[in-house]
Amino acid sequence: MGLKVYNTLSREKGPFETVVPGKVGIYLCGPTVYKASHIGHAVGPIIFDAIKRYLVHRGYEVTWVVNITDVDDKLIIEADKQNCTTQELAERITADYLEAMKTLHVDGIDLMPKASEHIGDIVAIIEKLIAKDCAYASGGDVYFDVAKDDDYGKLSNRRIEEQAGQRDLQSAEKRNPGDFALWKAAKPEEPAEVKYDSPWGSGRPGWHIECSAMAMRYLGDTLDMHGGGMDLVFPHHENEIAQSESASDKPFANYWMHNGLTRVNTKKVSKSDADPEMQAALTRMTLHNLLDNYAGELIRYFVLSTHYRRPIEYSEAEIDSKRKGLDTFYRLFERVQRVCDASPYEGAVSLTEPNASAAAGIATADLAAACDEQRAAFERAMDDDFNTAGAIAALFEFAAIVNRHIEQNKLESGGDEAAKADALASSRYLVSVARLIGLFLDPPQAKSTGDDGLTDAVMQVLIEVRAQLRKKKDFETADLIRDRLADNKITLEDRSGETSWRVD
């Protein structure tokens, strides 16, 4: 089966075809850098990073552009509040965003153009639109004339007439109430750094035209994929299509891909945090705070556990439940390390062949076939409109197969070397498949506790107390220790008479 992709514009899932054979250009609307990002801002980058990795695996040469909106009303207001320039604000917020992307292993972004560095491209498109009579200057502003665009509204399924009632929104300078600004005249009180020269006087571009200009500059008139959150369909993407296609007379994007929005669920709370204040804090939590509390891989896994077009339920309880899922893999990898004295994270397996089990070096035929089957299931899910949730389900099956192999061959208490080699080979195969969506790139990092051995000393005391309790058959208190630690994201693991701990 070939790769199929859902297109918001056609409302259909269809075979994936690129503009240029073998090449894929992706544009994802990036952050407006006026305040710290929250979880919602990480969703698109995580999804498209997984998509890019998968497309590269499928043999495509991918160019992925994520813009930085550093010219916007919101920046002017916020910079004024903070008594700094819009550049200073933009640089600070961009640095914060990039650091978060790194922690989330969003490594695939090729270009991050800034709106402020593309004013010339923007002006050129506006001039073209005016020359074609699709746009008009009015009192220092320039507006796009929606009445000149026959298929305006095709992405969001809205018609111009539906907005005719919005007379109150109509500025005196507009021809139609739905006309949107391509260029905004500078206001006297605005800072000098946001005033750009143009044929229509000093001013700055509108948000929509910024994206069109940067997308077309780096990816040509027709992009393969244009992504963003569902909330961007109207007006942002509708207006991007209108102005880009009116300027170029070509389709702007072949696949419009919109991810579901993040909903903070205040009902499903874990027992330890059944506190409304905690949930409110969660809503306000910036991406930075979030990554101080959770490992980047957990957040990535959390996002990829839902199909990208569906809304993501975000709550402490949901993250907790995903942590348990992720732990299934970490426990397997620790087990393999213990049994085979080698890391599943090393020795990447080449996945160029459908039956990569041979390349992985799996000798047992049944085990090899079972692993190949789950790898195929993973790819079928990804081929079906990048169903990362289905792909992760295949990884779970894969992990179960490796665990079963370890148990059947009694590798925890000896076992033969060939069976151990197969356990290692199949776990490395699993890791290599998971890496196609950017999971298990590195071993999980214990989060730094910022002390020097004190936490470990305290943990050893707790582990010893718990062991004593268990000896005295006070399992209730022993379990209480384990559960309370788990509430605090510390996992205890009992293996052959020894207990280890880690922070998730």
Question: Which residues of this chain interact with Zn ion, rule CB under 5 A?
Answer: 29, 211
Q: How far apart are CA 162 and CA 143, in angstroms?
A: 19
How far apart (Å, rounded) are the C-alpha atoms in residues 49 and 15? Answer: 21
Tokens at 201, concatenated: 């006087």
Q: Which is nearer to Zn ion, 29 or 424 (CB)?
A: 29
Q: Which is nearer to Zn ion, 29 or 433 (CB)?
A: 29
How distant, in Å, are the alpha carbons of 8, 84, 241, 485, 493 from that of 12? 7, 47, 18, 47, 47
Complex with Zn ion: residue 253 or 419, whichever CB lies closer: 253
CB nearer to Zn ion: pick between 4 and 35? 35
| Choice between 29 and 155, CB closer to Zn ion | 29
Shortest Å, Cβ 236 to Zn ion: 5
First-to-last alpha carbon distance for the chain, in angstroms, is 38
Please name the helix (run of DSSP H) or strand (run of DSSP E) that holds residue 263, with its range, or none. Answer: strand 262-264
| Least CB distance to Zn ion at residue 208 (A) | 7
* Token digits of residue 284: 């306000």
User: Which residue number, 29 or 282, has a Cβ lying nearer to Zn ion?
Assistant: 29
Q: How far is the CB of 256 from Zn ion (least distance, A)?
A: 12
Question: What are the tokens at 91?
Answer: 């640089």
CA torsion 142-146-148-151 (nearest 10°) is 140
Least CB distance to Zn ion at residue 347 (A): 41
CB of 211 to Zn ion, least distance (A): 3
* Separation CA 464–CA 70 (nearest Å): 55
* Cα–Cα distance, 154 to 439 (Å, whole number): 37
CA distances from 451 to 289, 447, 484, 504 (A): 20, 11, 21, 17
CB-nearer residue toward Zn ion: 208 or 420: 208
Least distance CB 29 / Zn ion (angstroms): 3
Q: Report in angstroms how near the CB of residue 209 gets to Zn ion at its nearest.
A: 10
Instruction: Name every residue whose Cβ is closer than 8 Å to that of residue 261 and which is 6 or more positions away in sequence.
Output: 40, 229, 230, 231, 311, 312
